[in-house]
Structure 1
Amino acid sequence: MALAEVHLLRTINELAGALDSDECRRLLYLCGSLDSDSSVAHVEEMLRSQLIRGEINYLFLIELLSELRRFDILKKMFRTSKDEVERTLRNRHVLSRYRVLIANLSEDMANEDLRNVKFLLSSTIPREKVDNAKNFLDIVVELEKLDKVSSESVDFIEQCLRNIGRVDLAKKVNIHQRSDGRDQQQPVVPHQVVQMQRVKAPIVYPTPNCTPPLHQPRLGLPQRRIENQGMPARRSQNCQSSLDEYKLQMGPKGICVIIDCVGNDGEMLEHTFGGLHFKVVLHKWLGVDDILSVLRGIVKQTRNQDVSAFVCCVISRGTATDLLATDSYSRGLRLDTLRHLFTADACPMLAGKPKLFFIQSYRVPEYQGCARTNHRDEDLETDGYDAMSAGEVVPTDADVFWSHCWTDESQLGQGDHRSVYLSALTNALQKSEKRRTHLLDIHTVVNSVIYDHNQRGSMSSYHIDLKHTLRKNLYL
């Protein structure tokens, strides 16, 4: 072994022994390892293996320590200061920019943020892995193992951060993606010729002229990004064409239809949305055909009214795909049918305007012997209406916010039952009257309440499916 390698080996042993378990965990990830063993012995073994393969040099170790903020070790082992290291690393990096980004995001995440992330991804990552995750880095490691996240694909992470209200961190992911597009880890220079370079500082990402929002339709699951192909690219001087907000009227902001088929929380929602200055219509104890009749009436009503938003709340027994209303198990209204009633094609006057759905369903067993006659999308009427100019074409499924919560039907047997989901939603909406709060931030509060409820080990667990294709910020 060459003298330089012997010296590097001693440096590795001394370095690993000076780190705590959290720093070891972060170091492993920065080095490209997804191993869960963060012991000092494992770190030493991994670094030795990389040294033998020629993947480690002094610059590599210096950048590692810099990312770990261990400038004390840098001073002791490499006789260099923080300023000198930052100048050295300004334009030259050995570590993966993607892994540095993820490690830094993990450091910036508060405990509450981590709880919200765990809740949102509880159906994506195995429960045991979610429970054992100590930080956001552990979560990303599991997502990488599932091939849902990689250095070439960070949209999933960006959307997750947006949906827990950490837009600041989501913007960092977006800037990384736009400025890079791929992982630009520089090849390692053979350690025999590496010398300490006394210039350069931490990477400074170029600030793009405008950062568009990247929304995915389903929270917690990687799906096809909504492509606004019909929308011409328009950019204003202040770059607000994409991140602008929906403009709501001063009078009635829009129509809110509430359909309560169990008789518990309809009045609570009526009071809440009335306080938010919506024109509220409450219907109780409807069957499936009655629901369709009411909703089609709303569609016709919008043709004669200038509404800036639409809200639909439904409380009903149901299955995974259907709302049963007050009918027996032989009939059902598909959830997709409910949403498609208000697409830009079916309801042109709502094209380009936010359409919000809040669904509380109480799951009942699906009986295999019952032949359900579903209302299908092809049975719906679609009237033509040229509501928008050619320069403002909006994709059919744009501007939708879909929040569907389900729990077990057995709760309805309790005389004083109130939906945890709807109670949290109304409380968060009422507080938003006092201070301007983005709808996604409101829902983050709802997510947190439900997560805490489920963590208490209650028999009545709640589950949420949140997806949206909002193109702008929405403040109610």
Structure 2
Amino acid sequence: MTCLFSLKTQRTLKGARLGMTVHKVPASVLYQIEQELDKGEKDTMLFLCQDLVPDFPVMDVRMLLVALNERELLTHGILAELLYRMKRFDLLKKILGTSRAAVETSLARNPWILSPYRVLMTEINEDLDKEDLESFIFLLLDNSSMSYMKKAKEKSFLGVINDLEKLELVSPDQLDFLENCLLNIHRRDLVKKIQKHRLEAPVHTVGSAPVYINVLQVSLPGLSLAEPPGMVNKGKLLNGSGAIQKERVPVSVPETGTAVTQVSDHYRMQSQPLGICLIIDCIGNDTGVLVEAFAALRFEVQSCLFLNVNSLSQRLREVAGLKQHKDYDCFVCVVVSRGNHQDIFCTDCALPGFALEKVKRFFTGDKCTGLLGKPKLFFIQNYVEPGHRQEQSSFVEADGDLGPAIPQVADILWSQSMVDASALERSPSSSSYYLSTLAELLTDPRKRMLPLLDTLLELNNRVYKRNRDHPTEQYSLLLKHTLRKKLFLSRS
């Protein structure tokens, strides 16, 4: 079994799937797409399309798109599938005038044009960080020369896979070598993806052409290649100038095998409990409301009051080492302390404090493997001591580099509030408006049905409205994340 298409196969498949005259995509559309892609995305597109023009030595994206267009292999539908696989959902709307949901609907009801094997490789590429890739390349020593190893350090995972294909170590039906390498670098989650691929990408034929049954159809055995009852003409890919219809059709992959959910666009949040919520409160005014809120969200809450810097470090290390993380779907850490914009002082009165960067570092996927690929949420309330106050504009930003306290690894959300410590002097027992509002929104039955990011945007909005009414007590907010999917803290 192979995923490599001949030109004859391509045309047979094209006719079997589309069944109508192909209209070339305007050059202006191809130019727009090329201009929007960065180098990594262009390399991904070349990799994904490698089997569509195997006899043509394509060196860049522009040549690829022209070659596909000239051979009448390029349609708006294929472009939509490409942009979808590359997660450029913004270009689906901006250039092709369609939506992510419409493409998912079409992929659920039509054979994929792109090779499932190449789609799988691009997904693995997205999930490998720099250290994983370096470890993966090191494992190739037994099969490669030292000169190749030096060159490989400059390559992406997809570039290395191309080389392994030439060595006949990896192919669509030969993935054992890749599995073993991923096992050796402790990426069992990616091995599971490969095993799932083997089960969910069988081949059947249309005439003499192999046509891939896609993952959605295998996961939903009642869904055939024909139009499902009651869904005729909804979200269908139209050839040529007909864009993809935008109606949302409830066709998606069941994540657990029972409940139907949107296609892999959200984190799994079904463990009991959802995860550990660690609350470090060095002020003592907010623990009660926080414990109540996160317990209501089905977290196992662990709270610690009035820690000094040494005790904080020890506690973070202990919680990061808990074996339960591998069975849970999420992790939350809330820290309330005096400090400055980079450090928290805990109950210690003198510098140096404990760097905020270190708080999240205990729980990144490389340090806490049980949380690899799972959302890790950090909520920080910092009361800034006199002499350590920065200008508000330096940490109220929506995008860009916000300093060393901001996470740069996947699946982390960082929500931070700062207010002058004089607020505690004026009212020593008062709660943080930021934290009390967070607890209120998280436990509101209506808000719990929204993605967490939507809820946090409302939190920010409420805090800024309060700032207008309290000019002497200004909360400064920072919200950054490296989440890869939507996050819902409640299923009901």
TM-score (norm 1): 0.47
Which structure is richer in relative contact order (CA contacts within 8 A, separation 6 or more)? 1
Asked which structure has the greater CA Rg, the reply is 1
